[in-house]
Amino acid sequence: MRAYCPHSPMVGVGWIEGWRLTFAGEGQMGWEGAVTTVAESPGDRVFVSLYDVHPWDASQLDEVEGVTAGAYQKLTVRVSTLDGDIPAWIYVYAGYEGGMPTAWYLSEIANAAEKAGAPDDYVHELRSRPTGTASPEA
């Protein structure tokens, strides 16, 4: 977020209840492995960082995340925080779920969750997920 949204400070953390972290898009649009997305899943939850996103940064992030290309949809969900539920938007992959992330990509996600204060068991579960290897270029 710091690289793509320099005007948007992190303002907190929370949980998206009824959703699970998953991966999708392996082999699509030049990605090396599958990328993060979320899927509705009663009983599950995803730890998230919250940002006060500046309008200029939002436009840039939409471009980087593939909203303008149709790869992701931007949805508004409720995030449970210690101060109560708040609305926030997320990016959800517009295609089918499936595929595995690279070890590097998964490590970046787990490191970010740990740095943001995610519980140890949540970070451990992230780190123990299977990973794939990027396909060699043809």
Inside any domain, residue 40: yes
Check whether 6 has a pLDDT greater than 70.
yes
At residue 138, the pLDDT reads 40
How many structural domains are present in the chain? 1
Inside any domain, residue 33: yes
Domain interval for residue 77: 10-100
- 3-state SS assignment for residue 26: coil
Check whether 21 has a pLDDT greater than 70.
yes
pLDDT digits (tens, 9 = 90+) for 79-120: 999 999 999 999 899 888 888 999 999 999 999 999 999 999
The catalytic position among 26, 40, 63, 65 is 65
- Residue 65 is among the residues annotated as catalytic for this protein: yes
Inside any domain, residue 57: yes
Question: What CA–CA distance (Å, rounded) separates 25 from 32?
Answer: 10
- What phi and psi values does residue 5 have, to the nearest 5 degrees? -135, 65
Inside any domain, residue 37: yes
Inside any domain, residue 26: yes
**Domain of residue 20, CATH code:** 3.10.490.10
Inside any domain, residue 17: yes
At residue 28, the pLDDT reads 67
- 3-state SS assignment for residue 128: coil
Inside any domain, residue 128: no
Check whether 137 has a pLDDT greater than 70.
no
Inside any domain, residue 49: yes
